[in-house]
Amino acid sequence: MQETLLPSQVLIVKILLGFVVGALIGLERQKKLDAERVVGVRSFGLHSLLGTLAAYSSQMLGESVILIYSIVISCILVTTQIYYKIFRAGGKGLTTSLVFAISFVLGVLVGLDIPEEGVVIGELSVLAMTVSFGVFVVLWFKEELAHAVEVITRDEMISAVELGVIILFLWPLVPESVVIGAIEYPSFTIYLLIVILLSISFANYLLVKKFKDKGVYFFGFFGGLANSEAAATSVTDFYVHSERRGSGKISLSIILSNVAMIVRNGFLLVILDTTFRLFGLYLIPIALIIIFSMIRIILEERSEDRPDAQMFDIKLVSPFEFGAALRFAAIFAVVYLVQLILTITFSDAGVIVAAIIGGFVSAGAVVASAATLFVTGEMTISIAFNAIILATTMSVLNKMLYTYLADRQTALLKKVARDSIMIGAFLIIYLLLLSLGLLI
User: What pLDDT score was predicted for residue 372?
Assistant: 74
Contacts of 277 (CB under 8 A, 6+ apart): 381
Residue 271 lies in a domain: yes
One domain, residues 29 and 171: no
User: What pLDDT score was predicted for residue 72?
Assistant: 92
SS3 384: helix
Per-residue pLDDT averaged across 210-236, rounded? 74
**Rounded distance, CA 194 to CA 197, Å?**
5
Per-residue pLDDT averaged across 307-316, rounded? 45
User: What pLDDT score was predicted for residue 105?
Assistant: 92
Examine the pLDDT at 311 and tell me if it is beyond 70: no
One domain, residues 139 and 205: no
**Rounded distance, CA 263 to CA 294, Å?**
14
Are the C-beta atoms of 209 and 240 separated by less than 8 Å? no
Residue 294 lies in a domain: yes
Examine the pLDDT at 315 and tell me if it is beyond 50: no
Which is more confident, 427 or 206?
427
pLDDT in tens, 379-419: 788 888 888 899 899 989 988 988 888 887 778 888 889 98
Of 126, 149, 172, the last residue of a domain is 149
One domain, residues 188 and 226: yes
User: What pLDDT score was predicted for residue 160?
Assistant: 67
pLDDT in tens, 180-209: 666 666 677 677 767 766 676 666 566 666
Residue 440 lies in a domain: no
Percent of the chain at pLDDT above 70?
70
User: What pLDDT score was predicted for residue 26?
Assistant: 85
Residue 89 lies in a domain: yes
User: What pLDDT score was predicted for residue 19?
Assistant: 92
One domain, residues 141 and 158: no
One domain, residues 204 and 88: no
One domain, residues 130 and 179: no
pLDDT in tens, 43-84: 888 999 999 999 998 888 888 888 899 999 999 988 887 877
Following CA atoms 151, 155, 159, 160 in sequence, which dihedral angle do they give, to the nearest 10 degrees?
Answer: 20
Q: What's the whole-number average pLDDT of the chain?
A: 76
One domain, residues 101 and 233: no
Examine the pLDDT at 35 and tell me if it is beyond 50: no
Of 118, 134, 149, the last residue of a domain is 149
Residue-wise DSSP of 349-373: HHHHHHHHHHTTT-HHHHHHHHHHH
**Rounded distance, CA 190 to CA 333, Å?**
7
Three-state SS string over 309-338 comes to CCCCCHHHCCCCCHHHHHHHHHHHHHHHHH
User: What pLDDT score was predicted for residue 316?
Assistant: 39
Are the C-beta atoms of 256 and 224 separated by less than 8 Å? yes
Handedness of CA 373, 375, 379, 382 (dihedral sign): positive
Residue 424 lies in a domain: yes
Of 129, 149, 169, the last residue of a domain is 149
One domain, residues 364 and 413: yes
Ranges 19-23, 240-244, 275-279: which has the least confidence: 240-244
One domain, residues 137 and 172: no
One domain, residues 224 and 196: yes
Examine the pLDDT at 279 and tell me if it is beyond 80: yes
* Residues of the domain holding 248: 154-435
One domain, residues 176 and 142: no
Domain count of the fold of the chain: 2
- Binned at pLDDT 50, 70 and 90, residue 273 comes out as confident
Examine the pLDDT at 421 and tell me if it is beyond 80: yes
**Rounded distance, CA 248 to CA 415, Å?**
7
User: What pLDDT score was predicted for residue 50?
Assistant: 92
One domain, residues 26 and 124: yes
- Binned at pLDDT 50, 70 and 90, residue 5 comes out as very low
Residue 342 lies in a domain: yes
pLDDT in tens, 332-376: 666 666 666 766 676 667 778 878 887 777 787 777 777 777 887
Residue 412 lies in a domain: yes
Three-state SS string over 127-187 comes to HHHHHHHHHHHHHHCHHHHHHHHHHCCHHHHHHHHHHHHHHHCCCCCCCCCEEECCEEECH
Residue 202 lies in a domain: yes
Q: Residue 8's closest CA among 88, 120, 109, 87?
A: 120
